[in-house]
Every structure is written in structure tokens, then in C-alpha cells.
């Protein structure tokens, strides 16, 4: 018999045991109590345990509830124990929680050489996730892409302040997001295609969540002081320079997400598609209008297909560099006292840039990214990577 078979049999044989020996009367739940919860209601905690007063104590269900509660981002640790009730056959189920820090951080450090531009990439983000006690989030993030070598130029500096209300006007299914940003982005490739954007941006969104995993958002963008110029080869001998004046933008986005984790997905997929006038107020950042990601198990690792980068770029103000279409292979790293979880990954991919060559040819890139993503106890989520791409036509 295989190891797993033996182990499973063993678990099944023992898993149904109650907290009493066979000679004792079966234990009954006298009550379910919560400890350690300051900002989370006991009702919310109890809702994860399918046991109530008067029901037999079911150890398997208690362990399952402990795991379910452990998956909830509200808690850093969950401990369940029994206490003597008023009678011998009665037990009090005590759920003791350690609430998670409401402040989270995320950092990215990378070095990438893409299409004749070599640059460093640094991004950081700090967020508070329960500003007024109702799950309101406020976060501040910054991105710095600084070129230091190469014939092309790719420079990007961004600061974002975002506020999100998960229950807009108290409604269960509606949410709202307001973002204030300042961006300074300048790009120029070796053919002369360029984009130069500088200015503040205000973005307001209202979203509706429906079904099991779907959502739709309606957004409006305002750029009060815009300095935005682009120049692109549109065809052989045809170079267009545009000073853009779109101070306003409107957009609609539909998406769903069944992934089990944003940073370390092991299953499920996410998708979103957007449309509108001047869709993607972050268009100077060259974000994709379509995004899809799906993850599969492959032997000891995970295979992830990505189209248009990582999920939820319409909400995230953090930065993740990737190509338009990529396939990533990753494996888990050993957790330790300092590392909650982690993965190394390699990610080959392909893409193309805006603009053409003076001969009218599309500019493509192929390349590979490799790095580690860590969920650390001290620094939050940390991404470290190297990336290199080149134009396959040259």
C-alpha cells in the first residue's frame, strides 16, 4: 500500500474520535466563546464553526474551523480549546484569536534590461486596512524606474494615495475607490518613438460585486494639469507627434477572480476586461486592457499563464513588471521563522511595444524574468527579480 494510503487510513481510523473516551458520555457543546478579538465580532468568528450549544463536540469540525479562520486575513493566529462546562459532559469551546496587523507592506526591487534600456526598479507600498473600523483601506505607494544604461530611455516615477471603502454607503455589494496620483513617465526607444507624461491624476470608481466571484466597476478620471506628449511611427515615413489634452476619462471594467491567493496562487483563475473613453487612466504605464491568469500544478511546482500581467491592475497601485504574455514556473521555498512562505520563479514571455519601426514593422520583445517572491514576517511581501528582453527581429 502506498504511504499516502496508509496514512489516510490511519487518519480516517483516528479522525472521528471525540474528545472523550468510549466509557464517558459524549461531550456536548455548552457554549462557544471568543477571546482576543478587539475589532472583530464574536459573531463573525462563530460563523466559521459549524457547532452550536447543545451539539456534540466534533473535533474534526473544530480543527476545520480553526483552518477556516486561519485563512481569514483578519487573524494572525487562531487557537481553539475546550474548557470544562458546568457539567461533566458539557464543554465550552473557546476560540482565541490574535488579530493581524492592520498595516501591511509590500516591496519590489528589480533590475531589468528591456529593449536597449537597462534600469532599476523599486516600489514600495504601505497600507492600513481598517481605517474607520469598517474595513476601509488607505494606502500610499511609490514607484521608481531609473534608467542607467542603454540607447533607449525608460524612466518612471509614481506616487499614489488611495482610499477604498468596501461598503459604499453601507451597501453590502457596492464599493468605492478614490485615488490621487502624481506620475512622471518618460520613454523613448531607439527608433524615436516616445511618450512623455507628467502630472497629477484623480480617479474615482464605484464597483458592484455579484455572483460568487464577479465584479463590475465604473470609473472616472480627471487630470487637472496635464503635460502629455507622444510621438510614434505610424507607418513608413509617417511620424506623428501628439500633444494630448484628455483631461477626463471614463471607463467600465468587468472581472472575476477565483484564485485562492493573489501573491501565491495555487489554483483558480482571474480575468478582467475594460473598455471606455481613455480607458486605463494609467495608460502611460502601458497597462493592458485585458488581463488573465491561471495556475496549474505541475509535478512539484506550479505553472502560471499570464496575459497582461498580474491581476487587478485597476486597483493595485503597486508595481509588477512582466511581459504581455508569459508562462511562469515556480516552486515553493521552505518556510521558516522569518519566512511565512515564498517561491522562486522563472518566467519567459513575449510582448510588443507601442509604436513601430520607421519601416512600419511592429516592435516585439522576447525575454525572461527570474526572481523570488517572499512573504516575510518583518518586511511583508518582497519581490526580488532580474529581467532581460530583446527584439527578436534584430
Partner 1 sequence: MRVLIPFLFVFFAASSFAAELVPLRHNEHLGARVQANELPDGFRRDLTSGLTNRLMIRVTLHRATQQLHTRSVQIAVRYDLWDEKFIVTTQLDGVGADTVDLTDVQQVIQRLQEIRLPELFSMSAVPADSDVTMRAVVLLNPIDRERMDAIREWVAQNSNRSSLDPAGVLGAGDMSVSNAIFNRIFEQYASGSDLASAWQRTLTTKPFRAHEMPKEAR
Question: If you search the block for the grid coordinates 451597501, which residue do you land on?
Answer: 171
Question: Whose Cβ is closer to partner 1: residue 88's or residue 394's?
Answer: 88
Among positions 147, 340, 348, 352, the unique one binding partner 1 when judged by CB under 8 A: 340
Q: What is the Cα–Cα distance from 124 to 106, expressed in whole angstroms? A: 6
**Residue 270 in the binding site for partner 1 (CB under 8 A):** yes
31 binds partner 1 (CB under 8 A): no
The residue from 325, 333, 354, 368 that contacts partner 1 (CB under 8 A) is 333
Asked whether position 163 contacts partner 1 by CB under 8 A, the answer is no
- By CB under 8 A, tell whether 243 contacts partner 1: no
Who contacts 272 (Cβ-Cβ below 8 Å, separation ≥6)? 253, 254, 255, 256, 290, 291, 311, 312, 314
Instruction: Choose one: 151-159, 167-175, 186-194, 218-226; the region binding partner 1 (CB under 8 A).
Output: 167-175
User: Which helix H or strand E contains 356, and what residues bound it?
Assistant: strand 339-356
CB-nearer residue toward partner 1: 72 or 305: 72
Contact 294, 307 (CB under 8 A): no
Give CA–CA dist 95/66, Å, rounded. Answer: 8
Give the residue, chosen from 30, 32, 40, 114, that forms a contact with partner 1 under the rule CB under 8 A: 40
By the rule CB under 8 A, 137 interacts with partner 1 = yes
d(CA 101, CA 267): 26
By CB atoms closer than 10 A (0-12, 13-18, 19+), residue 115 is buried
SS3 content of the chain, % helix, strand, coil (to 5): 10, 55, 35
Q: Looking at beta carbons only, is 3 or 241 nearer to partner 1?
A: 3
Does residue number 341 form part of the binding site for partner 1 (CB under 8 A)? yes
Of 161 and 190, nearer to partner 1 (C-beta) is: 161
CA 209 to chain CA centroid, nearest Å:
17
**Strand 380-390, strand 339-356: pairing:** unpaired
Kindly identify the residues of this chain, within the stretch 173-232, that bind partner 1 according to CB under 8 A: 173-175, 177, 207, 209, 212-213, 215
Told to check if 315 binds partner 1 by CB under 8 A, we report yes
Q: Is 300 in the site for partner 1 (CB under 8 A)?
A: yes
70 binds partner 1 (CB under 8 A): yes
The answer to the question of residue 331 lying near partner 1 (CB under 8 A) is yes
Helices of type H across 16-130:
42-46, 59-71
Q: Is 349 in the site for partner 1 (CB under 8 A)?
A: no
Q: Convert residues 3-22 into a mask of x (bound to partner 1 by CB under 8 A) and - (unbound).
A: xx-xxxxxxxxx--x-x-x-
Give how many residues touch partner 1 by CB under 8 A.
106
Among 28, 42, 100, 273, binds partner 1 (CB under 8 A): 100
86 binds partner 1 (CB under 8 A): no
Q: Is 73 in the site for partner 1 (CB under 8 A)?
A: yes
Q: Which is nearer to partner 1, 76 or 240 (CB)?
A: 76
Q: Is 131 in the site for partner 1 (CB under 8 A)?
A: no
Q: How far apart are CA 351 and CA 390, in angstroms?
A: 10
Q: How far is the CB of 29 from partner 1 (least distance, A)?
A: 12
Residue 291 to residue 288: CA distance in whole angstroms? 7
Contact stretch for partner 1 (CB under 8 A) within 149-157, 169-177, 233-241, 347-355: 169-177
Closest CB to partner 1 among residues 110, 249:
110
What is the Cα–Cα distance from 252 to 239, expressed in whole angstroms? Answer: 31
Q: How many CA atoms lie within 13 A of 6 on its CB side?
A: 3
Residue 101 binding partner 1, by CB under 8 A: yes
Contact pick of 29, 143, 152, 374 for partner 1 (by CB under 8 A): 374
Q: Does 394 bind partner 1 (CB under 8 A)?
A: no
- Listed ranges 55-63, 234-242, 277-285, 361-369: which one lies at the site for partner 1 (CB under 8 A): 55-63
Q: Which residues of 323-347 are buried (b: 16+ CB within 10 A; e: fewer)?
A: bbbbebebeeeeeeeeeebbbbbeb
Do residues 30 and 57 make contact, with C-beta atoms less than 8 angstroms apart? Answer: no
Amino acid at each position: 500500500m502506498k504511504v499516502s494510503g496508509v496514512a489516510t487510513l490511519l487518519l480516517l481510523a483516528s479522525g472521528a474520535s471525540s474528545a472523550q473516551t468510549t466509557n464517558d458520555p459524549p461531550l456536548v457543546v455548552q457554549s462557544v466563546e471568543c477571546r482576543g478579538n478587539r475589532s472583530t465580532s464574536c459573531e463573525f468568528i462563530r460563523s466559521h464553526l459549524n457547532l452550536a450549544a447543545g451539539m456534540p463536540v466534533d473535533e474534526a469540525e473544530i480543527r476545520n474551523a480553526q483552518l477556516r479562520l486561519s485563512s481569514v486575513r483578519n487573524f494572525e493566529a487562531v487557537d481553539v480549546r475546550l474548557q470544562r462546562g458546568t457539567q461533566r459532559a458539557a464543554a465550552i469551546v473557546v476560540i482565541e484569536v490574535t488579530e493581524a496587523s492592520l498595516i501591511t507592506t509590500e516591496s519590489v526591487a528589480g533590475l531589468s534590461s528591456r529593449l536597449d534600456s537597462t534600469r532599476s526598479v523599486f516600489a514600495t507600498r504601505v497600507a492600513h486596512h481598517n481605517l474607520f473600523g469598517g474595513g476601509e483601506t488607505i494606502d500610499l505607494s511609490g514607484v521608481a524606474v531609473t534608467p542607467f544604461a542603454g540607447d533607449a530611455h525608460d524612466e518612471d516615477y509614481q506616487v499614489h494615495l488611495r482610499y477604498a471603502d468596501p461598503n459604499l454607503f453601507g451597501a453590502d455589494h457596492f464599493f468605492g475607490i478614490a485615488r490621487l496620483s502624481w506620475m512622471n513617465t518618460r520613454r523613448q526607444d531607439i527608433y524615436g518613438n516616445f511618450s512623455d507624461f507628467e502630472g497629477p491624476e484623480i480617479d474615482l470608481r464605484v464597483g458592484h460585486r455579484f455572483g460568487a466571484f464577479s465584479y463590475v466597476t465604473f470609473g472616472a478620471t480627471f487630470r487637472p494639469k496635464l503635460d502629455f506628449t507622444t510621438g510614434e511611427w505610424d507607418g513608413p515615413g509617417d511620424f506623428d507627434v501628439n500633444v494630448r489634452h484628455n483631461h477626463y476619462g471614463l471607463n467600465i471594467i468587468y472581472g472575476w477572480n477565483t484564485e485562492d491567493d493573489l501573491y501565491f496562487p495555487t489554483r483558480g483563475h482571474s480575468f478582467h476586461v475594460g473598455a471606455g473613453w481613455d480607458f486605463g487612466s494609467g495608460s502611460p504605464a502601458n497597462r493592458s486592457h485585458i488581463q488573465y491568469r491561471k495556475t496549474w500544478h505541475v509535478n512539484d511546482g506550479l505553472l502560471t499563464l499570464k496575459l497582461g500581467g498580474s491581476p487587478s491592475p485597476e486597483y493595485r497601485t503597486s508595481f509588477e513588471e512582466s511581459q504581455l504574455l508569459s508562462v511562469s514556473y515556480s516552486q515553493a521555498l521552505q518556510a521558516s521563522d522569518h519566512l511565512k512562505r515564498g517561491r522562486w520563479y522563472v518566467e519567459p514571455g513575449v510582448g510588443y511595444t507601442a509604436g513601430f519601426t520607421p519601416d512600419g514593422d511592429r516592435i516585439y520583445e522576447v525575454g525572461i524574468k527570474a526572481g523570488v517572491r517572499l512573504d516575510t514576517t518583518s518586511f511583508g511581501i518582497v519581490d526580488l527579480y532580474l529581467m532581460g528582453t530583446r527584439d527578436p527581429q534584430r
